Amino acid sequence: MSSVENPAPGYLDMELLRFTTAGSVDDGKSTLIGRLLYDSKAIFEDQMEQLEMASERRGEEQVNLALLTDGLRAEREQGITIDVAYRYFATPKRKFIIADTPGHVQYTRNMVTGASTANLAIILVDARHGVLEQTIRHSYIASLLGIPHILICVNKMDLTEYKEEVFEDVKKQFVPFKEILNIGDVRFIPISALNGDNVVDRSKNMDWYSGATLLEILETINIRSDADFVNPRFPVQYVIRPQRDEYHDYRGYAGRIAGGVWKPGVKVAVLPGGIESTLESIDTMTGELSEAYPPQSVTFRLAHDIDISRGDMIVPVDQKPNVGQEIDLMVCWLGENPMVMGGKYVIRHTTAELRGIIREVVYKMDINTLEENRDDKSVVLNEIARIRIKTSKPIFYDSYKDNHITGSIIIIDEATNNTVGAGMIL
């Protein structure tokens, strides 16, 4: 199989980088994104006209780039961002999806939603205030969600006279938390989103900084090994039986690859039954593939006719995932109603849907102080806790740190069909 460092040819053709932004109130997240889009020439002429008109209506002397991501009228009236605003743009080197998430503690679930698929998190710190509780909270959520790359953007350097010692002091404040949270790739950039220093163009006001600009990092950071290329996993989403003369005996199993590099000829097992076969071919609309990898959507054909349905998983016979019904996970509670101990919920894991019971709350996490609370077992909106659930039938899983797809679950309220919890399997 291809190695993790060198996935299949074509994998890096016009890569897509998903990143999220977070910060305290008025740290300048929306201004930063507006500046990034403006200076990288990613704003259309009609968008620019709307920005100018909106800024003029607000009585502002210059164009307010923050309005570019504040898509909701309520946000503009309050002067805060209260939802997740997604923006898409591209440079000649890479395509990007930005999730601009709110910084308030009561919108923790919004940040979890926006950051759940991110390769990288930008956390803004006001140079005047340094590392705050919110900084630690956002960093913890980023580490909990397994975001592999974190950029600490020390913003508003123009308000501290672009002093190097201010930037270095923020770095020193963050070091202890980097070690506690076990975050691997953390980088620091001194910027002024308002004036554009070190966002797209290098700052002439901070010649003491020799590192890359924000856009340079976004365009060049290595994300090729962020997906799980080690553990081959294929959750079956749909069984294809055309039942037409030209495909009379065709039986294919369609889905999105959740892990590993797959090639025809590998010996596989189908879970839950464990029946073994051989991967005969990997089919797509444009023909067969010699190999496939995350996050491609493909169809597997096996050498034997096996009773396979949605929710089953195809894996190599010698690389099987964990199988179990008692699952420990960290969960962010998204529901308006509190978690019910012993309550029955719908559990969605990869393509499988089943029932589950909340067996135990081990502890709640104080995401501002990083302390464990083992006394208060009530879990309400925006709280994060370690819990134990029991599912109605076995699921096939990896830990979230090894595979974000097979290591995550969604908890759904049976009565309302609302998603009430996002869980990361430990």
- Kindly state the average pLDDT of the residues 27-50: 74
pLDDT in tens, 335-394: 999 999 999 999 999 999 999 999 999 999 988 788 899 999 999 988 999 999 999 999
- pLDDT confidence of residue 103: 62
More confident residue, 84 or 336: 336
Same domain, 27 and 91: yes
Q: Give yes or no for a contact between 385 and 363, defined as CB atoms under 8 angstroms apart.
A: yes
Number of domains in the chain: 3
Q: How confident is the model at residue 13 (pLDDT cuts 50, 70, 90)?
A: very low
Same domain, 28 and 122: yes
Same domain, 308 and 332: no
Q: Report the CATH number at residue 50.
A: 3.40.50.300
**Where are any strands of DSSP class E within 45-179?**
85-90, 95-100, 120-126, 149-155
Same domain, 201 and 302: no
Residue from 101, 121, 106, 255 nearest 181 by CA: 121
226 DSSP assignment: S
- pLDDT confidence of residue 237: 96
**Where are any strands of DSSP class E within 184-341?**
185-190, 234-235, 238-240, 252-256, 267-271, 275-284, 287-289, 297-302, 313-316, 322-333
CA atoms within 13 A on the CB side of 313: 30
Q: Which residues pair with 421 in a beta bridge?
A: 333, 411
Q: Which residues pair with 289 in a beta bridge?
A: 282
- pLDDT confidence of residue 52: 64
Same domain, 72 and 198: yes
Same domain, 253 and 188: no
Q: Mutual orientation of helices 133-144 and 108-115 as an angle, nearest 10°?
A: 40
Sign of CA dihedral 38, 41, 43, 46: positive
- pLDDT confidence of residue 12: 40
> What's the rounded Cα separation, in Å, for the pair 265 and 51?
56
Compute φ and ψ for 114, nearest 5 degrees: -70, -30
Write out the two tokens for 344.
Answer: 């029955």
Of 254, 287, 316, the one marking the end of a domain is 316
Same domain, 177 and 272: no
Which SS3 state, helix, strand or coil, does residue 93 take?
coil
- Kindly state the average pLDDT of the residues 267-291: 94
Query: Is residue 284 one of the residues assigned to a domain?
Result: yes
Query: Is residue 339 one of the residues assigned to a domain?
Result: yes
Same domain, 312 and 326: no
- pLDDT confidence of residue 256: 95
Q: Which structural domain, as residue segments, surrounds residue 364?
A: 322-425
Query: Is residue 9 one of the residues assigned to a domain?
Result: no
Which SS3 state, helix, strand or coil, does residue 60 take?
coil
- Please give the single-letter amino acid code of residue 405: I
Same domain, 310 and 330: no
Query: Is residue 61 one of the residues assigned to a domain?
Result: yes
Query: Is residue 280 one of the residues assigned to a domain?
Result: yes
Same domain, 29 and 144: yes
Where do we find the tokens 């698929």? Answer: 117
Query: Is residue 11 one of the residues assigned to a domain?
Result: no
Query: Is residue 2 one of the residues assigned to a domain?
Result: no
pLDDT in tens, 105-133: 666 777 787 778 889 999 999 999 999 88
